[in-house]
Amino acid sequence: MAHSVTLIPGDGTGPEISEATVRVLEATGVEFDWDVREAGIDAAEKYGSVLPDDVLESIRRNKVAIKGPITTPRGGGFRSVNVALRKMLDLYACLRPAKYYPGVRSRYKDVDLVIVRENHEDTYAGVEFEKGDPAIRKISDLTEAAGMGPIREDAGLTLKIISEYGSERIVRFALDYARKFGRRKVTAVAKDNIMKFTDGLFFAVARRVAEEYPDIEYQEVLVDNMTMQLVQKPELYDVLVLPNLYGDILSDLCAGLVGGLGVAPGANLGDEIAVFEPVHGSAPKYTGMNKVNPMAMMFSGVMMLRHIGEEAAGDRLEAAMASIIAEGKDVTYDMKPRPDDPTAVGTSEVADAIIARLRA
Is 90 a known active-site residue? no
- Contacting range for ligand NAD; rule: CB under 6 A; set: 41-49, 118-126, 175-183, 288-296: 288-296
Residue 92 falls in the annotated catalytic set: no
Q: Does position 251 bind ligand NAD by CB under 6 A?
A: no
Q: Does position 247 bind ligand NAD by CB under 6 A? A: no
Q: Is 261 an interacting residue with respect to ligand NAD (CB under 6 A)?
A: yes
71 binds ligand NAD (CB under 6 A): yes
Give the nearest distance from C-beta 72 to ligand NAD in angstroms. 3
Distance CA 352, CA 358 (A): 10
- In the complex, what is the shortest distance from the CB of residue 141 to ligand NAD, in angstroms, rounded to a whole number? 37
| 3-class DSSP assignment, residue 57 | helix
Of 99-107, 156-164, 188-196, 273-281: span binding ligand NAD (CB under 6 A): 273-281
Q: Which of 133, 141, 224, 271 is catalytic?
A: 224
Q: What are phi and psi of 170, to 5 degrees?
A: -75, -35
CA atoms within 13 A on the CB side of 179: 12
Q: Does 331 bind ligand NAD (CB under 6 A)?
A: no
Examine residue 18 and tell whether it contacts ligand NAD (CB under 6 A): no
Q: Which of residues 198 and 293 has its CB atom nearest to ligand NAD in the complex? A: 293
* Contact by Cβ (8 Å): 106, 263: no
**Choice from 189, 296, 304, 350 touching ligand NAD (CB under 6 A):** 296
CA distance 360 to 355: 9
| DSSP E strand boundaries for the chain | 3-8, 32-36, 64-67, 93-99, 112-118, 128-129, 157-158, 185-190, 217-222, 239-242, 265-269, 274-278
Q: Does 28 participate in binding ligand NAD (rule CB under 6 A)?
A: no
Catalytic residue among 248, 291, 330, 333: 248
Contacting ligand NAD (CB under 6 A), which of 58, 62, 293, 300?
293
Among 96-104, 105-113, 128-136, 281-289, the segment contacting ligand NAD (CB under 6 A):
281-289
Angular region, 126: left φ>0, alpha ψ -120 to 50, beta rest: left
**Is position 53 annotated as part of the catalytic site?**
no
Q: What is the CA radius of gyration of the chain?
A: 21
Q: How far is 236 from 110, CA to CA, in rounded Å? A: 9
| Choice between 81 and 171, CB closer to ligand NAD | 81
Helix%, strand%, coil% for the chain, nearest 5: 45, 15, 40
191 counts as catalytic: yes
Which is the catalytic residue, given 191, 192, 237, 333? 191
Is there a contact between 190 and 245 (Cβ–Cβ < 8 Å)?
A: no
Residues forming beta bridges with residue 99, ordered by sequence position: 112
Give yes or no for residue 283 binding ligand NAD (CB under 6 A).
Answer: yes
Residues annotated as part of the active site: 124, 191, 224, 248
Residues in contact with ligand NAD by CB under 6 A are 69-72, 82, 261-262, 277, 280-285, 292-293, 296, 332, 334
